[in-house]
C-alpha cells in the first residue's frame, strides 16, 4: 500500500507545484483550472489509499511483502463473473443515445430503454452474488473463503 | 454463472504437488459469437480490443494511401479538396483514438493481469463495457462518411471557430464529437479497471517494485488517461453546446474564446502523445530483456523515468500553441526540453539491457530495434521543434508531419508489431513465421524512412500540411513521389504481417508455454492461458520470477 499512495500523492504534489507556478506566471485560467483538477484527482486517490493504509495500521498485504508465500494469499480473491450480456446492452444503448443526440428523440428513447434495462440487469446480477451459495449456479465454497482461523492467521487476506 | 476464486492454503510452490490456484466452477461456457459478446475474461476482451484496433489501423492506412496517391503528382485530381480534408481528419482521428491507444489497452488487458499473477481484471464486466463503448465510438465516428456532408473535415484537433456550426455544418462533425466521447469514456473505464487491478490483485510477493516494466508503464499511461480524457470530454461537451444550444464558449462572434478550446484540447492532446508512447516503451523493454537474457538494466531508474515523463507531459501542452502568441513561451519550452532527459535515460537503459547480453535477433527483437531508431529520429526533431524560434518557422509544415509520424510510427506501429511477434505464441499457442516476419520488418523499416524522411525537406522548402495539391513549379514533386512510393511499400510490408497472422493462426509451429525462455509470469502458464490464468505460480522473489524458477543457478540479484 505504501508505494501506491506515495506514487499518487507524489503526483498530486508535483501537479500542485506546477499549477502554482503556472498560475502566477501565465494569465491562462483554463490551463490553471485543468492543472487544479489534476491535482485534486491525484490528491483524492492518494489520500484514499493513505487512509486505507492507516486503517490497516500499516500491516502489509501479502502482495506488499518481499517474502510472502503464495499460501499467504489464501482465501477469497474476488468475484469474477464468467460472462454477462448486460455490458453489451449498455454499450448498444450508449450508441443509440449518441445517435439520438444528432437525429432526435426516438433514438434517445430506444437508447434510454437499453441503458436503463441493462443497468437493472447488471445490478440484479451483482445482487445475486450476495446470495451466492444458495444459487445452484454458484460454487460450494462460500464467498467468505476458507475457515476463519486461517484468515485470522494470515493478515491481509481480506480485500 | 459465477466463479469465486481461491488461492491454495498449501505451500503453493512451483512444483507438481502444489494445489491448483483456482477452483473453476463447472457449467456451460459460452462459445463463438456469444463468447465474443458476453465474455468477461480479460484475455478475450484484450483480443477483441487488439483485433478491432488493428482493423482501425488498416482502415486508416487505406485513407493514408489514398491521400498519398493524391499527392503523388502536382495538380492531381484523384480526390477533391473536400474529400482530402475529410480523409486527413479521419485518418488522424482513427489512428490516434482507435488504433494507437486502444491497441495498448488491449495489450494491457491481456498481458498485465498475467504479468502480476492476477486471475482477471478487477471489474470484469466494466471491462466488457469499455470494449463496447470503444467499438461503438469507432462505428459512430466512421458513419460520418455516410452522411450528406461527409465526415468531419477540420483536422484532428478541430480548431474553433472552424468547428462551429456556421463554418462546418452537418451531422458528420457531431458524429466525430460523439464518437470520440464514447472512446473517451471507454478509456476512463479501462483506466479505473487497470489501476485497481494493479493495486489490489497482485499475487503474494509481487511488490510494486517487482512488477515488470510493461505493467508500470501501462499503469502510468492509464494515470494519464484518467487526467486527460475527462478534460477532453468536457471540452467536447462545450463544443456540442456551441453547435446546438446557441452558446458561444469558443465563438468570438458571441464573445467566446477560441483560445479556450486550444488550451483544453491540448491539455488532453499532449498527454495523449505519451498515452500512445509509454505502453510501447514497456513492450520493447520486455522484448529487449527477454531476447538479451538479462534483467532490465536500471530497473528503478526506468520506473523513475516513466513517472517523470508522465509528470512533465502534463505541463507541456502549449508547445503546440507557440505560434498563437498567447502562451507562456519560457514555461512550455523549458518543460518540453526537460522531457528529453528521462527519455534519454530510457535509451541508455535499453542499450544497457542489451549490452553484453546473449542477443537473439528474431522478428520481435528487430521491430523493437526498429522502434529505437525511428523513435530516436522523431525525438530529435521533437527537441528541435520545442525551441520556439524554430517552431515559428516550421509550424504546420511537412517538417511537423515528418516529426510526428516518426514518433507515432516508431512507438505505435513498430511497438505494436513487436508485441504481436512477441506475444502471439501466448495468445494462440503457435509461433508466427520468422521469414515472413523478417521480410515484413525489412520492408516496413525501409519504407518508413522512404516515406517520411523526404517530408522533412518538403517542410523546409515550405510545403504546408493539409494541402490537397500543389503546383508543378513549387519544386515539391520529386520528394512527394518518393514519399508516395514509400507509403505503398509500407502498406505491402504491413500486409506481410497480416498474411503471417492468418497463416500462423492455424498452421504455425507449436510454441509451447514458454518459447522464448521468458522471465515474467505470463510465460509461467499455458498458451493460451486457462480461464483465470494460473494453475500454479512460482515464488516471486525478484522482478523476473520465472527466470529464477527456471535458472536457479543464475538468480536475479535483488536490490539494485
Ligand atoms: C501507415 C502509414 C501512414 C501514412 C502513409 C500516413 C500518411 C499521412 C498523410 C498523407 C497525412 C496528411 C498530411 C497532410 O496533408 O497534412 C497524415 C496525417 C496524419 N497522420 Fe498519418 N500516415 C500513416 C500512419 C500514421 C500513424 C500510425 C499515425 C498515428 C498513430 C498517424 C497519425 C496522423 C495524424 C495525427 C495526422 C494529422 C491529421 C491532421 O492533420 O489533422 N499516421 N498521415
Ligand atoms: Cu505535445
Q: What is the pLDDT of residue B13?
A: 38
Cβ atoms within 10 Å, residue A148: 9
pTM of the model: 0.91
| Continuous segment of H or E residues that includes residue B205 | none
Superfamily of domain B38-553, CATH level 4: Cytochrome c oxidase-like, subunit I domain (1.20.210.10)
Lowest mean pLDDT among A145-149, B15-19, B133-137, B291-295: A145-149
Pocket-testing residue among B58, B61, B64, B151, ligand 1, by greatest number of atoms within 8 A of Cβ: B64
Domain spans of chain A, in order of start? 1-59, 81-128
Q: A146 pLDDT exceeds 50?
A: no
Candidate from A70, A81, A94 with C-beta closest to B203 = A70
Q: B116 pLDDT exceeds 60?
A: yes
Q: What percent of chain B has pLDDT over 70?
A: 94
Q: What is the pLDDT of residues A22-58, one digit of tens each?
A: 999 888 889 999 999 999 999 999 999 999 999 988 8
Is there an atom of ligand 1 within 6 Å of B155 CB?
Answer: yes
Q: B488 pLDDT exceeds 90?
A: yes
Q: What is the pLDDT of residues A59-72, one digit of tens each?
A: 888 889 988 888 88
Is there an atom of ligand 1 within 6 Å of B79 CB?
Answer: no
Is the backbone peptide bond immediately before B161 cis, with ω within 30 degrees of 0? yes
Q: What is the pLDDT of residue B559?
A: 57
Q: What is the pLDDT of residues B122-139, one digit of tens each?
A: 999 999 999 999 999 999
Q: What is the pLDDT of residue B3?
A: 44
Q: How confident is the model at residue A78 (pLDDT cuts 50, 70, 90)?
A: confident
Task: Tell me what the mean pLDDT of segment B480-509 comes to.
Answer: 96
Work out which ligand 1 atom sits closest to the CA atom of B100.
30
Q: How far is CA B332 from CA A19, B270, B321, B342, B385, in A?
A: 13, 12, 10, 17, 12
| Continuous segment of H or E residues that includes residue A75 | strand A75-79
Q: What is the pLDDT of residue A76?
A: 73
Closest residue by Cα to atom 43, ligand 1, is B64
Q: What is the pLDDT of residue A129?
A: 60
CA A5 to chain centre: 15
Is there an atom of ligand 1 within 6 Å of B319 CB?
Answer: no
**Could you tell me what percentage of chain B is helix, strand and coil, using 3-state DSSP and rounding each to the nearest 5?**
70, 0, 30
Comparing CA positions, the residue from B195, B156, B180, B277 lying closest to residue B231 is: B180
The answer to whether B490 touches B447, Cβ cutoff 8 Å, is yes
Is there an atom of ligand 1 within 6 Å of B417 CB?
Answer: no
Q: B537 pLDDT exceeds 90?
A: no
Q: First and final CA of chain A: distance in angstroms?
A: 12
Q: What is the mean pLDDT of chain B?
A: 91
Is there an atom of ligand 1 within 6 Å of B162 CB?
Answer: no
Q: Nearest CA to CA, how far is A39 from chain B (Å)?
A: 9
d(CA B477, CA B487): 15
Q: What is the pLDDT of residue A56?
A: 87
Which of B207, B240, B559 should we substitute to test contact with A (largest number of A Cβ atoms within 10 Å)? B207
pLDDT top residue among B30 and B395: B395
Is there an atom of ligand 1 within 6 Å of B91 CB?
Answer: yes
Number of residues assigned to chain B: 560
Candidate from B11, B25, B327 with C-beta closest to A139 = B25
Tell how far the Cα of B91 is from the centroid of ligand 1, in angstroms: 6
Lowest mean pLDDT among A61-70, B265-274, B293-302: A61-70
Contact A69 B331 (CB under 8 A): no
Q: B442 pLDDT exceeds 70?
A: yes
Is there an atom of ligand 1 within 6 Å of B232 CB?
Answer: no
Ligand nearest to the CA of B333: 2
Q: A133 pLDDT exceeds 60?
A: no
> B48: Cβ–Cβ under 8 A, 6 or more apart, which residues?
B36, B106, B131, B135
Candidate from A4, A83, A141 with C-beta closest to B40 = A83
pLDDT top residue among A159 and B362: B362
Q: What is the pLDDT of residue A4?
A: 92
Q: How confident is the model at residue B24 (pLDDT cuts 50, 70, 90)?
A: low
Contact B9 A94 (CB under 8 A): no
Which of A14, A70, A94 should we substitute to test contact with B (largest number of B Cβ atoms within 10 Å)? A70
Q: What is the pLDDT of residue B327?
A: 85
**Using a CB-CB distance cutoff of 8 angstroms, which residues of chain B are in contact with residue A28?**
259, 263, 327-328
d(CA B5, CA A6): 30
Q: Where are the alpha helices (DSSP H) in A56-85?
A: none
Tell how far the Cα of B374 is from the centroid of ligand 2, in angstroms: 18
Contact B11 A70 (CB under 8 A): yes
Contact B331 A26 (CB under 8 A): yes
| Continuous segment of H or E residues that includes residue B210 | none
Domain spans of chain B, in order of start? 38-553
Amino acid at each position: 500500500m505504501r508505494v501506491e499512495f506515495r506514487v499518487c500523492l507524489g503526483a498530486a504534489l508535483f501537479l500542485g507545484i506546477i499549477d502554482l507556478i503556472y498560475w502566477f506566471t501565465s494569465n491562462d485560467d483554463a490551463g490553471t483550472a485543468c492543472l487544479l483538477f489534476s491535482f485534486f484527482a491525484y490528491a483524492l486517490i492518494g489520500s484514499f489509499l493513505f487512509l486505507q493504509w492507516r486503517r490497516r495500521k500499516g500491516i502489509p498485504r501479502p502482495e506488499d511483502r518481499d517474502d510472502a508465500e503464495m499460501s499467504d494469499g489464501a482465501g477469497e480473491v474476488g468475484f469474477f463473473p464468467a460472462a454477462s450480456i448486460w455490458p453489451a446492452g449498455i454499450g448498444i444503448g450508449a450508441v443509440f443515445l449518441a445517435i439520438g443526440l444528432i437525429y432526435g428523440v426516438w433514438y434517445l428513447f430506444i437508447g434510454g430503454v437499453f441503458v436503463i434495462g441493462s443497468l437493472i440487469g447488471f445490478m440484479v446480477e451483482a445482487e445475486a452474488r450476495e446470495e451466492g451459495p444458495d444459487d445452484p449456479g454458484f460454487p460450494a465454497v462460500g464467498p467468505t473463503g476458507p475457515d476463519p482461523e486461517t484468515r485470522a492467521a494470515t493478515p491481509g487476506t481480506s480485500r | 454463472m459465477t466463479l469465486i476464486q481461491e488461492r491454495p492454503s498449501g505451500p503453493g510452490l512451483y512444483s507438481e504437488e502444489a494445489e491448483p490456484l483456482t477452483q473453476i466452477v463447472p457449467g456451460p461456457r459460452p462459445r463463438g459469437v456469444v463468447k465474443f459478446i458476453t465474455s468477461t475474461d480479460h484475455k478475450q476482451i484484450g483480443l477483441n480490443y487488439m483485433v478491432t484496433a488493428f482493423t482501425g489501423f488498416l482502415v486508416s492506412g487505406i485513407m493514408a494511401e489514398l491521400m498519398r496517391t493524391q499527392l503523388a503528382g502536382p495538380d492531381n485530381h484523384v480526390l477533391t479538396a473536400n474529400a482530402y480534408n475529410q480523409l486527413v481528419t479521419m485518418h488522424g482521428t482513427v489512428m490516434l483514438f482507435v488504433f494507437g491507444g486502444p491497441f495498448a489497452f488491449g495489450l494491457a488487458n491481456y498481458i498485465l493481469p498475467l504479468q502480476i499473477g492476477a486471475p482477471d481484471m478487477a471489474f470484469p464486466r466494466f471491462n466488457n463495457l469499455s470494449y463496447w463503448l470503444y467499438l461503438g465510438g469507432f462505428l459512430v465516428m466512421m458513419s460520418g462518411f455516410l452522411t450528406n456532408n461527409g465526415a468531419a473535415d477540420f483536422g484532428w484537433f478541430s480548431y474553433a471557430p472552424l468547428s462551429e456550426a456556421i463554418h462546418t455544418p452537418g451531422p458528420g462533425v457531431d458524429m466525430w464529437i460523439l464518437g470520440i466521447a464514447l472512446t473517451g469514456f471507454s478509456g476512463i473505464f479501462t483506466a479505473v479497471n487497470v489501476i485497481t487491478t494493479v493495486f489490489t490483485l497482485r499475487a503474494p510477493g509481487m511488490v510494486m517494485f517487482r512488477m515488470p516494466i510493461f505493467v508500470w508503464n501501462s499503469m502510468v499511461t492509464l494515470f494519464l488517461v484518467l487526467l486527460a480524457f475527462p478534460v477532453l470530454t468536457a471540452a467536447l461537451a462545450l463544443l456540442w453546446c456551441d453547435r446546438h444550444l446557441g452558446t458561444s464558449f469558443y465563438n468570438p462572434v458571441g464573445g467566446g474564446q477560441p483560445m479556450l478550446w486550444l488550451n483544453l484540447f491540448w491539455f488532453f492532446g499532449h498527454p495523449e502523445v505519451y498515452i500512445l508512447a509509454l505502453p510501447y516503451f514497456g513492450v520493447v523493454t520486455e522484448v529487449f530483456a527477454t531476447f538479451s537474457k538479462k534483467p532490465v538494466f536500471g530497473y528503478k531508474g526506468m520506473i523513475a523515468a516513466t513517472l517523470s515523463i508522465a509528470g512533465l507531459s502534463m505541463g507541456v501542452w502549449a508547445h503546440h500553441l507557440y505560434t498563437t502568441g498567447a502562451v507562456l513561451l519560457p514555461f512550455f519550452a523549458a518543460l518540453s526540453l526537460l522531457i528529453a532527459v528521462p527519455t534519454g535515460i530510457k535509451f541508455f537503459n535499453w542499450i544497457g539491457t542489451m549490452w553484453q547480453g546473449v542477443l537473439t535477433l528474431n522478428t520481435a527483437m528487430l521491430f523493437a530495434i526498429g522502434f529505437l531508431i525511428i523513435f530516436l529520429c522523431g525525438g530529435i526533431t521533437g527537441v528541435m521543434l520545442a525551441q520556439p524560434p524554430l517552431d515559428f518557422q516550421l509550424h504546420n509544415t511537412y517538417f511537423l508531419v515528418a516529426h510526428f509520424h516518426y514518433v507515432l510510427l516508431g512507438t505505435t506501429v513498430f511497438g505494436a508489431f513487436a508485441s504481436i511477434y512477441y506475444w502471439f505464441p501466448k495468445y494462440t499457442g503457435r509461433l508466427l513465421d520468422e521469414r515472413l516476419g523478417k521480410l515484413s520488418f525489412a520492408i516496413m523499416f525501409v519504407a518508413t524512412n522512404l516515406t517520411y524522411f523526404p517530408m522533412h525537406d518538403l517542410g523546409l522548402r515550405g510545403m504546408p500540411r493539409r494541402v490537397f495539391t500543389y503546383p508543378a513549379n513549387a519544386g515539391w514533386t520529386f520528394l512527394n513521389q518518393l514519399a508516395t512510393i514509400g507509403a505503398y511499400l509500407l502498406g505491402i510490408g504491413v500486409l506481410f504481417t497480416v498474411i503471417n497472422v492468418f497463416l500462423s493462426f492455424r498452421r504455425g509451429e507449436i510454441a509451447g508455454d514458454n518459447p522464448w525462455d521468458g522471465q515474467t509470469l505470463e510465460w509461467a502458464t499455458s498458451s493460451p492461458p486457462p480461464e483465470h490464468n494460473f494453475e500454479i505460480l512460482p515464488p516471486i522473489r525478484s522482478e523476473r520470477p520465472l527466470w529464477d524458477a527456471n535458472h536457479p543457478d543464475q538468480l536475479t540479484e535483488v536490490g539494485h
